[in-house]
Amino acid sequence: MSHDTHDRLVYMANQIGKFFHSQGQDKAVPGIAEHIKKFWDPRMKRAIFAHCDAGGDGLDPQVREAIGTLQQAKQETAQA
């Protein structure tokens, strides 16, 4: 994916994070994760996972945490 595509995904993820931010950490992180899980296509998820693995530049902390929970759940499912 191009640099512009990664920038766009970071922007989109952070916009989701802003929407959930007012709900507090306990609800925001699961809400962000659930939204990405439900509405992002597999290519988008792979790209944002790779971006996180490379340091996650530009991602808000709650968004980075939400993506991390999705990655962990994916790994646990693959191991089961």
**Are residues 12 and 47 in contact, defined by beta-carbon separation less than 8 angstroms?**
no
pLDDT tens digits, 13-42? 999 999 999 998 899 999 999 999 999 999
Binned at pLDDT 50, 70 and 90, residue 1 comes out as low
Per-residue pLDDT reduced to its tens digit, 34-69: 999 999 999 999 999 999 999 999 999 999 999 999
- For residue 33, the number of C-alpha atoms closer than 13 Å in the C-beta half-sphere is 19
Judged against a pLDDT cut of 70, whether residue 2 lies above it is answered with no
In degrees and rounded to multiples of 5, residue 22 shows phi and psi of -65, -15
